[in-house]
Structure 1
Amino acid sequence: MYETYSISDVIENDPKFLAIKEKLAGYVRGSDVYLAELLNELPLNSYPTYKAYLKTQAVPFTSTDKNKAEESNYSPIYRNSISPDKLVTCVDQKLSTGYEHFMFSARRFPNNDCLGQRIYDPITKQWSEKYHFESYSRIVERAHSFGSGILSLVNVKRKKPLKSNDFILAILAHNMPEWIITDLACQSYSVTNTALYETLGPKTSEYIMNLTESPVLVFAKSNMYNVLSILPELEYVNTLICMEELTEEELTLFNDSLLTKNYNKLDEKISLFSMKQVENIGRLNDIPLMPPKPETIYTISFTSGTTGLPKGVVLSHQAITASNAFVLSSMKVPDNKKDKQLYDMCFLPLTHIFQRQTTSYALSMGVASGFIHKPDPLVLVEDLKILKPDFLSMVPRILTRFESGIKTTLSKSTIQKNIASNIIENKAARFTSHGGTDKSLLNFLLYHRVLIDKVRDSLGLTNGSFIVTGSAPIAKETLLFLRSALDIGIRQGYGLTESFAGICLAEPHERDIGSCGARHRSLIDKDGWFSTGDVGFIDGKGRIHIIDRVKNFFKLAHGEYIAPEKIENAYLSSCPYIAQLFIFGDPLKTYLVGVVSLEYEGVQTALSHQYPEILSLSQEKLYERINKDLSLKKDLLISINRCTEGLQGFEKLHNMVVGTDLLNVDNGTVTPTLKIKRVIATKYFKEELEHLYEEGSLIRVEKL
């Protein structure tokens, strides 16, 4: 039995939460009405006052039997000031699993929108101009039926009792409602699942499937070819389930003609079903539910990794509830949106723990999750404009693209640029001097009407209350620009797969931006410590600031340490026509070079004053000329370097190769969440990087 300590316990035992304790006193603890009122009163950082929390967000943990820090010359151990003495594992003991969170939402908001997408019309060949959702009650039905059907099929083939759930289910699909239904089906019957990355290649999928001995693979139709190609190497699979609907003809053709292997290693017959078929089987068989316990293994999450084969992290249901407690204790739903239908865009890969955490929070609060209509980041803004979500989880690489797009659009008109610059500068000055939301009449009567509402509408953030960013550090300049241009709270978080994503989260409107907030839970090794591999520092308020990964640091020949991610973010946030950047430094050289993906229109505009002839060049021809014409490349490089602020001379680029979308998942140089795989990128661009050093520094005599 796992030990639990809940938010309810924190409220009961800490005098600073007396106000909320009194509000809950009239309800039976653990009842649905108690839980609803508890969630309505959160977050805890509002007690006794939010201002008091902001001043001291984390405090040293001083228990002498646990704190070995002073003896070993380390800093104190910090805990969030909300619960400094004990780690919180759940919101309440009645919400001790992810499944209980979801079912509570289904009881509380049965008719709320739950999962939705745009519908494709094969006749008009168009996607619908609105999102179509299924309700929470409908998703409960589908998840239970699908789970029952999976157990029926898998266990008949394994010749085991129908209620046997001693196997791992694998998912291979882009984000779609059926992904979440599959996950909820597993939770309903205490089946552990694991997710395969569509983008990491067949060898990785084959490795995970055989390592977990998974007998069932649920996949998107777009992965049919990939499934068929690895099927001969899968030793344990006996059931294949396609998420989309298949006709009887398609199913017969596949099972009779396309299966390259009819039996697995255990001599179990392999066959394909559609998800709809499996739901029908489950509805007919109706195996009794087997809800999980806190110690039940929820998922084995394989990290996408920046080197080598992915590593599997085993996460229990208590990991979900601790994560939900962390988010709910620090995430405030605006008062004007309480008890209203809220929407979230489920955009980041569900194979990644960050999106799993965000979706778990959404399902625990009756929030509707929308999905982009095809697995392509380029359609994100199109779908955001239709869904108009209330909050959004992003990674820095996407936010810097937002920043770049806003700056490029505003620069097209001199008058518009000047007006926008004045507004954004005034907003930035206000944020850095005061913090908090801007409730001034000037903001709502002028700034919003002239600029902010237009910018928000252009990105589909019309209803946005806040954005959460994680997975990698983001430049302070980007945070401040977006907060100012969008007048929206942006919360930078920090976490790991091992901790079910976030363990700390910055407050949305802090004056001194750039931190990841104060930590809320821990993972420790046998010596009492957990080494994450990240470099950072803790400020006077107890907040964590992340600089970079230890393994990313390197030295140049003059002995200066380089933090490449910090430098990349500085360029991405300051230069609107840089879309991607990979910084590289040869330790035998004294300067940096880079691989740069450019925004065509932006760089064309920037260069056209000196080189008017480039306006007639196509994108391909323009980049080809920049790479060959050293004078042109030098002028562009000088322009780019002048944009950057806060970088030392040795941190700036001295040469570069340019192109479009040079760093992508297909060539393996970035992870699905767009983090650069530096070892692989270095190998992939080996010839280009060597050539850049052969060309030498283009700006050695220039003042940086």
Structure 2
Amino acid sequence: RPRPITPPCDLRLQSQEVQVNLGSGDGARRSMMGDSSTLLSYYHEDAKTMYEVFQRGLHITGERDGPFLGSRLPNQPYKWLSYREVSLQLAEHLGSGLLSQGCQPSPDQFIGVFAQNRPEWIISELACYTYSMVVVPLYDTLGPDAIRYIINTAEISTVICDKAQKAAVLLENVQRGDTPGLKMIILMDAFDTQLLEEAQKCSVHIRALRDPPGPDDLSIVCFTSGTTGNPKGVMLTHGNVVADFAGFLKVTDKVIFPNQDDVLISFLPLAHMFERLIEAVVICHGGRIGFFQGDIRLLPDDMKALRPTIFPVVPRLLNRMYDKVRA
């Protein structure tokens, strides 16, 4: 039986206050984990952007071309796309398709992704990074007003979404004049002619889904719900994200270090940076990512089938799982 991991610090004292003049009267705190005297920008010399993070994972798998993104249908085993399939056959093709539709290979080009966790989410992200474009996640729980606000604020002209129902909602916004800048929707799933007809009425193009950035270039804009007012867009560069997971590796590398044999189950929303961070760590070291079926009630069955070694999770979910085991 595996031994439990020894925490890198006392979990009852994970940070301490430091004296910094912030001008607002609020105190600052620093982590008790790792070397506080060194500010990390990256962990690996060859992984300074999110594009390079994937390229490193691709290089590590090499001739073995290891499995990368996995998904499953009910009562079916996981089916995997390899690193090379995702890179050469999917991400680069999708990125080229975006360019052919008028998107610019620039950090000023924002692409919306409106989908549940699935392989196409990561493929869409990598397609953007391959051509220096920026990802802006959208998700249902933000609410319709916030989604309209984000599309307008980020000046999103193209949204990649998973289901026709979500595309219909986006089209309704355009038809009402709420999001006049939205010009193209790319769908992961099949759609019918009625959706095309509705799109033509408001001059939106519907498409079916089938120069690398630098560390200072924008990688992703995460809109938070915020405590007051409209959602706040947090602008993260490739360097920001890579530095974040470099810090994670630094404080855990003496206890556990990811490798090609690791398998992560993707459950927490990819629109949240915690899930993105841990998945980036797995990608950078050639590991595998398997996605849950989308139903939390089936999560235990997914974990039994996938047998993950890494599970990004929040305390609330652990409490629910604990209560279920004790019941």
SS of residue paired to 1:391: coil
SS of residue paired to 1:171: strand
Residue correspondence of structure 1 range 508-657 to structure 2 within 5 A: none
2:85 aligned to which of 113, 138, 147: 138
1:103 aligned to which of 45, 55, 58: 55
SS of residue paired to 1:327: helix
Q: 1:381 to 1:203 in 2, by over 3 A?
A: same
2:307 aligned to which of 369, 388, 405: 388
User: What amino acid maps onto 2:173 in structure 1?
Assistant: I
| Structure 2 CA distance for aligned equivalents of residues 353 and 59 of structure 1 | 20
Partner of 2:3: none
User: What amino acid maps onto 1:105 in structure 2?
Assistant: G
Partner of 1:240: 185
Partner of 1:496: none
Q: 1:334 to 1:343 in 2, by over 3 A?
A: farther
| Structure 2 CA distance for aligned equivalents of residues 74 and 202 of structure 1 | 34
Q: 1:380 to 1:198 in 2, by over 3 A?
A: same
2:297 paired with 1:378: yes
Residue correspondence of structure 1 range 63-212 to structure 2 within 5 A: 68=20, 78=30, 80=32, 82-110=34-62, 111-119=65-73, 127-141=74-88, 142-155=90-103, 163=105, 166-212=108-154
2:178 paired with 1:226: no
| Structure 1 CA distance for aligned equivalents of residues 25 and 195 of structure 2 | 64
SS of residue paired to 2:101: helix
How far does residue 73 in structure 1 lie from its aligned partner after superposition? Answer: 10
| Structure 1 CA distance for aligned equivalents of residues 15 and 158 of structure 2 | 47
Higher relative contact order (CA closer than 8 Å, sequence separation 6+): 2
Residue correspondence of structure 1 range 170-569 to structure 2 within 5 A: 170-221=112-163, 222-232=165-175, 233-246=178-191, 250=192, 252-255=193-196, 257-259=197-199, 261-263=201-203, 270-276=204-210, 290-305=211-226, 307-332=228-253, 340-374=260-294, 376-408=295-327
Q: 1:396 to 1:260 in 2, by over 3 A?
A: farther
How far does residue 229 in structure 1 lie from its aligned partner after superposition? Answer: 2.4
How far does residue 382 in structure 1 lie from its aligned partner after superposition? Answer: 2.0
| Structure 2 CA distance for aligned equivalents of residues 152 and 176 of structure 1 | 25
Q: 1:174 to 1:59 in 2, by over 3 A?
A: closer
Q: 1:75 to 1:149 in 2, by over 3 A?
A: closer
TM-score, structure 1 as length reference: 0.41
How far does residue 183 in structure 1 lie from its aligned partner after superposition? Answer: 0.8
User: What amino acid maps onto 1:393 in structure 2?
Assistant: P
Identify the range of structure 1 (89-98 vs 337-346) with the bigger mean alpha-carbon deviation. 337-346
Superposition RMSD in Å? 3.1
| Structure 2 CA distance for aligned equivalents of residues 244 and 236 of structure 1 | 23
Q: How many residues align?
A: 314
TM-score, structure 2 as length reference: 0.85
How far does residue 81 in structure 1 lie from its aligned partner after superposition? Answer: 6.5
SS of residue paired to 1:330: helix
| Structure 1 CA distance for aligned equivalents of residues 60 and 30 of structure 2 | 36
* Aligned residues with identical type, % of pairs: 28
Q: 1:81 to 1:206 in 2, by over 3 A?
A: closer
Q: Unmatched 5+ residue regions in structure 1?
A: 1-49, 120-126, 156-161, 264-269, 277-289, 409-704
Higher helix share: 1
| Structure 2 CA distance for aligned equivalents of residues 209 and 241 of structure 1 | 15
User: What amino acid maps onto 1:118 in structure 2?
Assistant: R
How far does residue 301 in structure 1 lie from its aligned partner after superposition? Answer: 0.5
| Structure 2 CA distance for aligned equivalents of residues 188 and 128 of structure 1 | 35
| Structure 2 CA distance for aligned equivalents of residues 213 and 74 of structure 1 | 34
CA contact (8 A) 1:114 1:134 kept: yes
Deviations 1:174-216 (A, max 9, x none): 1111011111111111111211121232221111101111110
| Structure 1 CA distance for aligned equivalents of residues 296 and 224 of structure 2 | 21
SS of residue paired to 1:369: strand
CA contact (8 A) 1:109 1:366 kept: yes
| Structure 2 CA distance for aligned equivalents of residues 107 and 216 of structure 1 | 31
Q: 1:74 to 1:217 in 2, by over 3 A?
A: closer
SS of residue paired to 1:89: coil
| Structure 2 CA distance for aligned equivalents of residues 352 and 371 of structure 1 | 15
CA contact (8 A) 2:264 2:308 kept: yes
SS of residue paired to 1:218: strand
